[in-house]
Amino acid sequence: MTDSDELSPRLDALRGDFAPLLLAWQRAEGRHHLPWQNTRDPYRVWLSEIMLQQTQVSTVLGYYQRFLARFPTVRELGAAPADEVMALWAGLGYYSRARNLHRCAQQVCEQHGGEFPRSAELLQTLPGIGRSTAAAIASFCFGERTAILDGNVKRVLSRLLAFEGDLASSAQEKRLWRAAEALLPPAGADMPSYTQGLMDLGAGLCTPRSPQCLLCPVSALCAGRAQGDPTRFPIKTRKLKRGRRENWWLWLEQGGRIWLQQRPSEGVWGGLWTLPLFDDEAALLAQARRLGGGEPEALPRVQHALTHLDWVLHPRRLALAAAHDLAPPGPGQWVARERLADYALPAPLKKLIG
């Protein structure tokens, strides 16, 4: 399928009207009061864009303010110890974002003199900044005419165009990128409101299961709606197969301290501090017997949903006598309860021991 087939007439029909309608709606009814709006500071826009990937606005608000209070500029973030960045990020999930955030700040300082590059093309060369995030920063901060295509915008545009291509295919995704570029408004000065308008439409009206077509500013142009069932789009056939994993967690306490281990920097919970993990209960009990603290207390299991995985964790708690001096399993350290806030803990662990 090429752009000279059914997509071209649809794009032609939209081109003159879509951007003006979206712009007028965004200016009158879109979101204007989020703390990262009304700024052209690429540091703030970048920080918010990274936090908003896979995380809701209501959750991001507090984290955004805390990060800015602690790291008011990209230089301060770049100069901070990685552990401190991870600790401040703890609870937001998808920790590779925090590692890339820190690396990106360092690169901006080392390779760009502490200033973010001013084009989407160059922004994409930085860690953790993909094509859509780069476009969002460049359009918000520098008025560059460049298209975003995050998950929400894919949904809006594929409905608007009744886009039959399967977005599991990279060729079809590229085709949608080209359509997104064809719809951009002609003036760079309109780009911040246009980009925000697409985001607002996807987040507020053109939602996954129940799009509010009656309230939508572009409903008269929407081919998906005209066909009767816009929720048929986007089309994506390849479903992620979710796995299931089970582990046993040994919660060792001694005199107000907890034994924590740092996870390897790559992989699930990379770089975070957790309790020792075991593949089965027998291995955990053998370790507990070696430490001689008696039978560990079985606590209710913890369910944790990761992108591709349902993770079930079975915590077992064991209090060791103060005089006990056998080394707990693996490399790790005793952390006093009052110092836990200095350590980046995954959210389920924080909840468990907090």
Query: Which residues neighbour 328 within 8 Å (Cβ) at sequence distance 6 or greater?
Result: 252, 259, 276, 291
Could you say whether residue 19 binds ligand SF4 (CB under 6 A)? no
Could you say whether residue 14 binds ligand SF4 (CB under 6 A)? no
**How many helices (H) and strands (E) in the chain?**
14, 8
Reference 191, options 151, 130, 149, 135; nearest CA is 135
Tokens matching residue 274: 């957790």
Q: Which of residues 201-220 bind ligand SF4 (CB under 6 A)?
A: 205-206, 211-213, 216, 218-219
Tokens matching residue 34: 């989020």
Q: Binder to ligand SF4 among 99, 102, 175, 225 (CB under 6 A)?
A: 225
**Which of 31-39, 181-189, 224-232, 251-259 is the region at the interface with ligand SF4 (rule: CB under 6 A)?**
224-232
Could you say whether residue 156 binds ligand SF4 (CB under 6 A)? yes
Reference 216, options 201, 203, 227; nearest CA is 201
CB of 27 to ligand SF4, least distance (A): 18
Candidates 29, 49, 115, 144; catalytic one: 49
Residue 230 DSSP label: G
Active site residue 49: yes
Q: Are 77 and 85 in contact (CB under 8 A)?
A: yes
Q: Please report, to the nearest 10 degrees, the dihedral formed by the alpha carbons of residues 346, 51, 33, 28 taken in order.
A: -130
CB of 162 to ligand SF4, least distance (A): 9
Could you say whether residue 60 binds ligand SF4 (CB under 6 A)? no
Residue 13 DSSP label: H
Instruction: Calculate the CA 67 to chain-centre distance.
Output: 16
CB of 161 to ligand SF4, least distance (A): 10
Could you say whether residue 222 binds ligand SF4 (CB under 6 A)? yes
For ligand SF4, the closer CB: 52 or 223: 223
Could you say whether residue 154 binds ligand SF4 (CB under 6 A)? no
Residue numbers of the site for ligand SF4 (CB under 6 A)? 156, 159-160, 205-206, 211-213, 216, 218-219, 222, 224-225, 230
